[in-house]
Amino acid sequence: MKSPLVQQPDFGERLRKLRKQRSLSQRDLAGERITPSYISLLESGRRVPTLDVLLQLSSVLEVSLETLTGSPVDFPELSSRDTPVTASATAGDSTAVLHGSAADALLLADGSEDLPPDVLRERLEALYQELLASPPSWALFQVAFRLAQLLAALGDAQGRFDVLSTVAGLLTEGDSPGIRLRILTDLAAAARDAGNMSAARAAVADGRAMIETSGARHSIDHVRLVSVELSVRCEGDEQLSDLTPLADELLEAARHIDSPSVLGRAHWSVGTMLTRYNRAEEAVTHLLAARDMLSNGNLPIREWLHFCTALASLLIDLGVEDETARRHLNAALAITEASGWPPTPALLRAQARHLVATGAAAEAEELCRRTLTKDPSIRGRDRAQFCATWARALAALDRPAEAVEQMREAALLFEEAGHLRLAVECWRWLDRMRP
C-alpha cells in the first residue's frame, strides 16, 4: 500500500502546529502505536509517515487527512484488485465521496463523541453498511475500527467480533502489514470476549507469523498481540510455567517503548494472568503497578472506565485490597453515570461481585436476576460469569438448589465458549456444594 503524498518539511510544521493548538505533548499525540521520538522526527521533517501513521494522527488530532497533509487525499487501493474510494467521484454517489474530509465531517466535526451511544452506534453502523457495499477502502477501515471500539465500550462482544471478522476477510497479502496486524490482534481480542476461542487462537497464530516476518518485534503491535495471546492462552488448560516466558516477553517488549501507558497495560495483562492462577501477591504487585502507570491521564476516559472495572473485579476475585477495589468500582460507576453511557455487563458484574463480597447478597441476587432477564443479548462468557456470580449470591442466601442450577449453567457456558479454566472452577465449586 502506498501512503498519501506529503511534503516535508511542510508536513512536519503543520503537524507541530495542530498538536500545539490542542495542547498535546508529543507523548500525547503518539498514543500507543507511535513513539514520541518518531513524532519528533516527523515534526522535524526527517521522516515521511506511512498511511497507517497518518490515519492514527488524524484520529488523535480529530482532523481530516486533507487538513493534516495540506492537500486533497485519494484513499489508495487496498491491493491491486481493489478500486479506491476517491475524492473525484461523482457527487451523487454518497459512498464514493466518503474520502478523508467527508468521513471526518460525519464522525468528528458534528461532535459525534458527545452523541448518546445508541445514536452514535446507529450512525456508525449505517455508514459501515454503506461502505461494505463498495470495494474495500480506507474509509471502510476507519469506520470499522471506530465502530468496533464503540461496540467494545458498550459490551457488545459478538457485534465487535462480527465487524472485525468481516473486515479481516477483505485483506490480502499485499495489504499493509501494520493494518493487517492491528486487525488480527483486535479480532483475536474480540473473538476471546465473544467466547470464540478457536477463532481467537487462529488470529493470534496468524499475527505471530506476521511479527516474525515483518520486523515488528518490540513494537507496539508486538506488545498488543502478546497481551492478547496471554489472555487467550490462560483461558485454556496450560500451566502457569507454560505462560511465564510469554509474560516475560510481553514486559520486555513493553519496556522497549517509551510509554507509561504501554508498560502499564503490560502489567495489567500479567496481573490478570496471575489472578487466573490465584497468585494473589504477585498479581496485586502487577495490578497496582498498572494503576500507577495508567492513572495520570494516560488513558482515554472509556479505557480508564474499563481499567477501573477490571481492576475492581480482579481484586474482588483475589479477596484482597478491599478498599482499592471499592474505590475503583465507585469510580467506574461515577464515570458511567456522569457520561450517560449504559453500564457494561462487566461493570454490573463487578458491582454484583462486590455486593456478594460485602455481605449484600440479596442486592447482588436482584442485580444478577434483573440484568439477565432484562438483557437476553448477554451471552457466552459474559452470561456465564453473571450466572456464577448469581450462584454465589444464592448460596449466601441459603438457596442451594437455585445456586447449583446457576453454577451448572455457568460451567456449561464456559465449556461451550472454550474457557476451560473457568469451567473447571465452576465444577469444583459444585463439588464443594455437595452434601
Q: What is the pLDDT along the chain (435 residues), one digit of tens a residue?
A: 344 457 778 889 999 998 888 778 888 788 766 778 889 889 988 888 876 677 778 777 877 666 788 765 444 443 333 333 322 222 223 232 333 434 443 444 334 455 677 888 888 899 899 889 988 877 788 788 889 988 887 878 899 999 999 999 998 777 778 778 889 999 999 999 888 889 999 999 999 998 877 778 888 889 999 999 999 998 877 899 999 999 999 999 999 987 788 899 999 999 999 998 889 899 999 999 999 988 766 567 777 888 899 999 999 988 887 889 999 999 999 988 887 888 988 999 999 999 999 999 999 999 999 999 988 888 888 899 999 999 999 999 999 999 999 999 999 999 988 888 889 999 999 999 887
CA angle (132, 124, 19) in 5-degree steps: 110
Question: Are 76 and 1 a contacting pair, CB within 8 Å?
Answer: yes
Full residue range of the structural domain in which residue 403 is found: 360-435
- Is the full-model pTM beyond 0.85? no
Cell 482532523 appears where?
63
> Considering the domain boundaries, does residue 365 fall inside one?
yes
Domain count, the chain: 1
> Considering the domain boundaries, does residue 411 fall inside one?
yes
> Considering the domain boundaries, does residue 364 fall inside one?
yes
Measured in whole angstroms, the distance separating CA 363 from the mean position of its chain's CA atoms is 30
> Considering the domain boundaries, does residue 366 fall inside one?
yes
> Considering the domain boundaries, does residue 307 fall inside one?
no
Question: In whole angstroms, what is the distance from residue 262 CA to residue 221 CA?
Answer: 11
Q: What is the dihedral of CA 300, 301, 306, 308, to 10 degrees?
A: 110
Dihedral sign for Cα 124, 129, 133, 138, please: positive
Contacts 24+ apart (CB under 8 A), 115-120: 116/340, 117/150, 117/153, 117/154, 117/340, 117/341, 117/342, 120/150
Tell me which residue of 155, 107, 417 sits closest to 426, measured CA to CA.
Answer: 417
CA angle (428, 433, 435) in 5-degree steps: 125
> Considering the domain boundaries, does residue 400 fall inside one?
yes
Distances in Å between the Cα of 275 and the Cα atoms of 7, 149, 271, 278, 429 are 50, 26, 6, 5, 17
**CATH number of the domain that 375 lies in?**
1.25.40
> Considering the domain boundaries, does residue 388 fall inside one?
yes
